[in-house]
Amino acid sequence: MPHPFVLVTPSAAGYVRVLLARPERRNALDAGMTRALLEAFNTERNSPVLLESAAAGVFCAGADLSVAEEHRAEVSDLLYQLYEDMVTRPGPVIAVVTGPAVGGGAQLAGAADLRVASPGARFRWTGPPGRGLAVGAWLLPGLVGRGAALELTMTGRWVDAAEALRIGLVNRVDAEPGQLAAELAEGLAGRGAATAGRVKLIASADGLLDRLHAERAANRAAWSQPS
């Protein structure tokens, strides 16, 4: 079903553009938005997806902290389902990051297959205070190596675009990231889904999904405890 904060537009070039459109909350994700993203990624599983913000200068603040406490665990669990669907769908996902990507938003960018950032992009791997959640420990080792992954997830410090490029967290930094990402998506659509699907299947065979399932389970347990 259409969602006011998740805009899905098929492109004549063969890819699907998915826009996060809740700028007043920095695209923070509630259960409805997350379910809409799940539907968008699963409707045309073989098509490349271009994931970006409808507003420049912001990507995603992660799970919506204004959601009632008793519903936050549901949002967290839905997000892990979304990350797994992004990793396992045959069609590649390209995230366009032009501003802060925090917590679940940083994981959303990380779960994409390619990341194109603007010079103003920033990443922070941290969860809500008082919960002790693991955030991104499942995916960062494969992107930046175990040592850097542990440092980023344990400290929750900011990573700017220049550092993100240097450590391999993003593929490209460009003044026009949306245009560059669209060109990449068009090229991938022209190659067909078979190659991308095989590459993704092989790349996820190194324990990536095992780590995702472990982090999901650990955070389920953390949410079940009093804050």
Query: How does pLDDT run across 55-99, given as a tens digit for each residue?
Result: 999 999 999 988 887 788 899 999 999 999 999 999 999 999 999
Query: How does pLDDT run across 104-142, given as a tens digit for each residue?
Result: 999 999 999 999 999 999 999 998 877 889 999 999 999
Whole-angstrom Cα distance, residue 201 to residue 188? 16
Alpha-helical regions (H) of the chain? 31-43, 69-88, 104-111, 140-144, 146-155, 161-167, 177-191, 193-203, 208-223
Q: Is the pTM of this model over 0.85?
A: yes
Domains along the sequence of the chain with CATH? 6-175+189-223 (3.90.226.10)
